[in-house]
Chain A
């Protein structure tokens, strides 16, 4: 293996930055879900990279748990999108104002 830990960490930082940009700028619910997915994947990459270089099998185990929980999160998020779309006929989060005080 020729790549070092810091290379993987920098890729992960770049993905985190892109994800936070998406969360901050985009107003489309589905795009924000994309951004969350990108951030989760950056975290998974970090976990596996550190687990490889320690080295310890716990990193890969935790990454598997994280992927499974992210799958559950996406299922709930997508069903929330469908419900919100049915209620407001839109996916723009600025229109979802029912809970706004």
Chain B
């Protein structure tokens, strides 16, 4: 059965996920998204994966959420608060969400994973390091190249090409 820490983390994670999508202001929404990401990091701690949890905190809460916050600040004020929503579309979306939750939840509750428990010790983070440099080293190099490529691509995309024209205009 679930314990108190698990229940608290569930409430924080799911509550702030809903808040991230439903709060009127995008700035508060992105702060709520930080709550979701932090809650997932808490789940990783519960799953005896402190290395992944700290990686999640550093990468997601530390950099991605802050990056999103800065992008939101670049957008015009009225667009941050603007909320164009079709009521029918919203109810259809809620229906879709409930169908997915109930059907997938029923499948999981009915399947054999309910009986899976483990008494084995948690994975040592030294094993993860060994995995990375032995079995997964080509993937690690590829990941580094993809990260470098995507960051360069993002910079090229976001670069202003009309700076000189703007300066002339102003």
Interface residues of chain A, those whose CB is within 8 Å of chain B, are: 1-11, 13-22, 24-28, 30-31, 33-35, 37-38, 41, 44-45, 48-49, 51-61, 63-65, 67-76, 78-83, 85-86, 89-92, 94
Contacts and interface: CB of A to CB of B under 8 A. Distances in A.
Contacts of B48: 1, 52
Nearest 9 interchain pairs by C-beta? A25-B93, A72-B150, A21-B97, A79-B154, A17-B101, A79-B158, A57-B127, A79-B157, A24-B93
Interface in B101-127: 101, 104-105, 108-109, 113-114, 116-118, 120, 122-125, 127
A80 B108 CA distance: 37
Interface of B: 1-3, 6, 10, 13-14, 17-18, 20-21, 26, 29-30, 33, 36-37, 40, 43-44, 46-49, 51-52, 55-56, 59-60, 63-64, 67-68, 71-72, 74-76, 79, 82-85, 89-90, 92-94, 96-98, 100-101, 104-105, 108-109, 113-114, 116-118, 120, 122-125, 127-128, 131-132, 136, 139, 143, 146-147, 150-151, 153-155, 157-158, 160
Contact of B76 (A10, A54, A69, A89): A89
B21 A55 contact: no
Contacts of A53: 116-118
B18 A18 contact: yes
A6 B75 contact: no
A75 B151 contact: yes
**Consensus secondary structure, chain B interface:** helix
Given A6-B109, A64-B55, A52 B118 contact: yes
A41 B14 CA distance: 12
A75 B154 contact: yes
Nearest to A77: B154
Contact of A64 (B33, B52, B84, B96): B52
Contacts of B6: 2-3, 7
B55 A67 contact: yes
Given A52-B48, A60-B128, 9 more contacts: A1-B48, A20-B100, A31-B29, A48-B44, A53-B116, A55-B120, A75-B154, A76-B157, A78-B154
A80 B71 CA distance: 11
